[in-house]
Amino acid sequence: MGAIELIRKVRERWEERVVHRLARGEEVRDRFRQELSRYFDLVEQAVLSGYPDWVNEVLDQWIAARTQSEQQQQEQTLAPILEHIFLSLAFVAREMLTPEQAINVVSAYLTLHTHALQYVTRRETDSYVQYITAELIEVKSRLEQIDKTKSKFISVAAHELKTPLTLIEGYASMLASSLSPDDGIKPLMDGIATGVQRLREIIDDMIDVSLIDNNMLELNFQPVWLNQLLGIAAQDLQEALKERNLTLEIKDFPGSDEMMFADSARLYQAFWHLLTNAVKYTPDGGKITVDGRMLPGFVEVTVSDTGIGIDPEDHEIIFEKFGNLGDVSLHSSGKTKFKGGGPGLGLPIVKGIIEAHGGTIWVESPGHDEKTCPGSTFHVLLPLRKEAPSEQINRLFGQAASSQD
């Protein structure tokens, strides 16, 4: 007796055993028996033809019937069912057939069973990957919408705050000018002026972040010397350095005295933020060092400190908007106080300015430790332009026109 005859001989009891083991309740059993009967019909076709692909049609329908919750939990619903079908055949064949016949029918189905397991595993994995991909696309879309909403809020809030702040600043200045030097109210007015100036700096930072987010940051390229920019920034930080007993050393590195085309105001802003960041996270008595080197077509500037350092997993976060680290409630006030607070916009602005120049920025730090102070080093890579981009474009177009003539 051939394998197909043996399968037909045991099919009724085989089918009944599978239904009894896997289905609970009469209604469920009736539906499951219909599906199983279709599967067994295709099993017979597969054994007759020698092509196990016959069962794929039913397997595809079973896979498609998986619920969303099963996909979320990555439940392999068909593999256990297929295992039960195979084990049930082995039991029924042992009960109804001779040992030789049982081995024959189980061997005939084993190839089909192996194919079915491999097929459903692959298809269920593909289905899960598709589900996860769709979920990631949806999450990405939501995050992009949230980021757009946040950027829009920053832009609107900054511009809306600017008008009342200008009024406060104007009236405070008028009041201050009407007071005599001996007036006891003058220190209070000075405090208001300091607070207004701090608010203006924060609002200006918010506007800059909005410009960077919307790719609207315009650069005014002109001849720049890095040693001059760094010297001005160091001079502006002298008071804070003296107050904190910090040492700032700006080395005469290769490329610092090279003329390059860049936006001097924006580059000053970037390096000033980097230096104040180093001041903020370096304990009193520490040291900040600015160094660099020449690379083919670029100049690299490094800002190193003996500060508390940054954990490697936070090396990217610090360049994101509002990317403050640690407990903000424990931060002291002031831009140059140790661990001083802030809105977390300085480094994102630095990144935006450097990238707008065609450069890049990254940080190196072994980790964060307020006792050993491992320090951090920020690397700024800037293209060493010898002419403004507009002039370069005009020259290239001029050369192209000449070649056509």
Q: Work out the burial of residue 319: count CB atoms within 10 Å of its CB; fewer than 13 is exposed, 13-18 middle, 19 or more buried.
A: middle
What is the domain partition of the chain in residue ranges?
3-141, 222-391
pLDDT score recorded for residue 394? 56
- Label each residue of the chain as H, E or C: CCHHHHHHHHHHHHHHHHHHHHCCCHHHHHHHHHHHHHHHHHHHHHHHHCCHHHHHHHHHHHHHCCCHHHHHCCCCCHHHHHHHHHHHHHHHHHHHCCHHHHHHHHHHHHHHHHHHHHHHHHHHHHHHHHHHHHHHHHHHHHHHHHHHHHHHHHHHHHHHHHHHHHHHHHHHHHHHHCCCCCCCCHHHHHHHHHHHHHHHHHHHHHHHHHHHHCCCCCCCCEEEEHHHHHHHHHHHCHHHHHHHCCEEEECCCCCCCCEEEECHHHHHHHHHHHHHHHHHCCCCCCEEEEEEEEECCEEEEEEEECCCCCCHHHCCHHHCCCCCCCCHHHCECCCCCCCECCCCCHHHHHHHHHHHCCCEEEEECCCCCCCCCCCEEEEEEEECCCCCHHHHHHHHHHHHHHHHC
Q: Which of 53, 55, 380 is nearest to 229 (CA)?
A: 380
pLDDT score recorded for residue 265? 93
pLDDT score recorded for residue 400? 47
- Can you tell me which residue has the tokens 């977390």? 344
pLDDT score recorded for residue 75? 56
Fold of the domain built from segment(s) 222-391? Heat Shock Protein 90 (3.30.565)
Alpha-carbon 152 to chain mean position: 20
Angle between helix 56-64 and helix 99-177 axes, rounded to 10 deg: 30
Handedness of CA 269, 383, 292, 380 (dihedral sign): positive
Q: What are residue 262's DSSP bridge partners?
A: 222
pLDDT score recorded for residue 67? 56
Low-confidence ranges of the chain (pLDDT < 50): 330-332, 400-401
Is 165 in contact with 203 (CB distance < 8 Å)? Answer: yes
pLDDT score recorded for residue 332? 47
pLDDT in tens, 289-341: 999 999 999 999 999 999 999 999 999 999 987 766 555 554 445 666 777 76
